[in-house]
Amino acid sequence: MPGCYKTCDLYDPRIDGKCRRFHYGFGYVPAIPGILGYVSKVSFKRWGQLLAYAYLDLVPVERGIKLSAR
């Protein structure tokens, strides 16, 4: 593990020993409808970030729902 884990006041260990960067993980917002039927929420700590890869081709919503159901 990085040496900063021993001295950093922000370090909060996960099960695997790495640094926890979200307050409580991902959750659902039941009262707000979304394209997939739900909306997710997350609360980041000071150094938290979310990275993802995305396809740049746009498709109609109906086709996107069918593709994500596979």
pLDDT, average across residues 29-47: 82
pLDDT band at 2, cuts 50/70/90?
Answer: low
SS3 content of the chain, % helix, strand, coil (to 5): 15, 25, 60
Determine which helix (DSSP H) or strand (DSSP E) holds 62, and give its type and residue range: helix 61-68
Report yes or no: 42 and 29 within 8 Å, Cβ to Cβ. no
pLDDT of residue 46: 84
Number of independent structural domains in the chain: 1
pLDDT higher than threshold 60 for residue 22: yes
pLDDT of residue 1: 54
pLDDT band at 64, cuts 50/70/90?
Answer: confident
Domain that holds residue 44: 4-68
Q: What value, to the nearest 5°, has the Cα angle with vertex 54 and ends 52 and 60?
A: 135
What is the average pLDDT score of the chain? Answer: 82
Taking residue 45's Cβ as centre, other Cβ atoms within 10 Å add up to 13
